[in-house]
Amino acid sequence: MFGGNVMGIIAAFIVPHPPLILHEVGRGEEEKIRETRDAYFEVGREIAKICPDTIVISSPHATMYADYFHVSPGERATGSFQAFRAPEVVLNEEYDTEFVKTMERFARKKNYPLGTEGERNPGLDHGTMVPLYFIRKHYGGAKIVRIGLSGLPLYEHYRVGTIVKKVAEYLDRRVVYIASGDLSHKLQTYGPYGFAPEGLEYDKRIMEVCRWAEFDKLFDFSEDFCEKAAECGHRSFVMMAGALDGMKVQAKVYSHQDVTGVGYGVCSFEATGEDEGRRFLRQREWLEAEEIRAKRMEEDIYVQLARVSVESYIMSHKRLNVSEAAKELYMKELPEEFLTKRAGAFVSIHKFGALRGCIGTILPTRENLAQEILQNAISASTEDPRFSAITERELPYLEISVDVLGMPEVVESEKDLDCKKYGVIVTNGRRRGLLLPDLEGVDTVEQQIAIAKRKAGIDEEEKVSLQRFEVVRHT
């Protein structure tokens, strides 16, 4: 296994990162996860057989941004397990600066949010150090590349993996990819995070994906499901899958344990040749585009209006007025309701099931509803501070919805709310937050209020006044 003189991504490994697994940290407690520890040593031996030039590690505990992938800069980095009562365990690693610079250059060409800016802590994180601890027991060679995850959707993490693959091939490097990440943290009632049924389901599903290297199924884990399962490695695993894009893969599961209440999986994936049938992001984009083309035939006039506004602005930077929008929709003029009614409106944009932008107005700010939708569609696609502006290449994959808001009304208590029927507005002084009704993953009024508070920067314990409003949702 893992033989030959092939260049590029030779193999990839999924590994956990509990500091407890180190003898110096666990001090005997590591025996509880002996199976995982033994598997880790086997991984170290396999990597030594490969003799990679570069080890790329994606870690959930490296510098992370909502809309940017951070790659650690500099020549070297040091880290220790002092925070885990083992200051004597120190790692000093050399970065593959040529690999990093080439990644940055490739990303710039594609206008992709990846680079070395914004480092917060130059020291090695434990998500990076735990794998290296075991690797260095067997193999002292190879420079490293450390990549942080982001708040961007799963497909963007896959795309980062494809950049890693292209750079490995371009530089003619022998590369091993390490996807550092624990599985669910909610597997046992006695665990540090308690129990959730989604935790058991997550571990079962992810280990099946790994057993058969069915990386296309990694996209089927929703954000809401992953959050309830309290996993920390899924984005790292997706990035790894991107590094093996278009490759035949021989998979091996070494171990899976959940005795501490946290899932630890150890798996390997040997690249054995090319396979066009395993270009999973390309396949997913094609399927999504086909589904969206079919859905567009059913979109009502509200969504059509928002879509032509987005497309016009993204493609030509042109803001359509009402009459121009009507022409784009092959109409002499818009229905009377758009021209005479005034109302607040939210435009929400999703891509591959993940939110890509959402901005709106609680009360009307424009002369009529048509203008409200036209403007808010542009704002949602370019001004949502949580996301970068939508690009022209993304337009075929966008799902758009429009919520037209009724007038808010004051309510006395949470008893007057219904998270499926009413949106909520929370106010504390000059701080105000809003959440629309009937959102995926928001199942209680308490959740709805808590999220609205966070959006407004209001602490959980602070008192707020409440308003509710009804919504007519157009899809």
Print the SS3 string covering 6-66. Answer: CCEEEEEEEECCCHHHCHHHHCCHHHHHHHHHHHHHHHHHHHHHHCCCEEEEEECCCCCEC
| 105-118 mean pLDDT | 93
pLDDT bucket at 5, cuts 50 / 70 / 90: low
| 30-36 mean pLDDT | 96
Rounded-to-integer distance, Cα 374 and Cα 365, Å: 12
Task: Give me the residue spans of the domains in the chain.
Answer: 8-282, 286-474
pLDDT bucket at 3, cuts 50 / 70 / 90: low
pLDDT at 211 over 60: yes
Write out the DSSP string of 411-474: ESSGGG--TTTEEEEEEETTEEEEE-SS-TT--SHHHHHHHHHHHHT--TTS--EEEEEEEEEE
pLDDT bucket at 452, cuts 50 / 70 / 90: very high
pLDDT at 9 over 60: yes
Q: Which pLDDT score, from 0 to 100, does residue 1 have?
A: 56
> Which residues 6+ apart lie within 8 Å of 49 measured at CB?
1, 2, 3
| 12-29 mean pLDDT | 97
pLDDT bucket at 2, cuts 50 / 70 / 90: low
Rounded-to-integer distance, Cα 471 and Cα 166, Å: 47
pLDDT at 6 over 80: no
Of 30-34, 221-225, 367-371, the one with minimum mean pLDDT is: 221-225
Q: What is the CATH number of domain 8-282?
A: 3.40.830.10
Q: Which two tokens stand for residue 385?
A: 């501070």
| 342-366 mean pLDDT | 93
What average pLDDT is seen over the chain?
95
Q: Which pLDDT score, from 0 to 100, does residue 4 have?
A: 56
Q: Which pLDDT score, from 0 to 100, does residue 85 have?
A: 94
> Smallest Cα–Cα separation from 312: which of 207, 202, 425, 390?
390
Question: pLDDT for 142-165, tens place per residue?
Answer: 999 999 999 988 999 999 999 999
pLDDT at 418 over 70: yes
Percent of the chain with pLDDT over 90: 90
> Smallest Cα–Cα separation from 302: which of 244, 341, 255?
341
Residue pair 199/187 in contact by the 8 Å Cβ criterion: yes
Topology of the domain comprising 286-474: Glycoprotein, Type 4 Pilin (3.30.700)
> Which residues 6+ apart lie within 8 Å of 281 measured at CB?
155, 158, 159, 162, 242, 245
pLDDT at 189 over 80: yes
| 351-374 mean pLDDT | 94
pLDDT at 387 over 90: no
Rounded-to-integer distance, Cα 36 and Cα 255, Å: 6
Q: Which pLDDT score, from 0 to 100, does residue 75 have?
A: 98
Alpha-carbon Rg of the chain, whole angstroms?
25
Other beta carbons within 10 angstroms of residue 367's beta carbon come to 11
Question: pLDDT for 274-333, tens place per residue?
Answer: 999 999 999 998 988 898 889 889 999 999 999 999 999 999 999 999 999 999 999 999
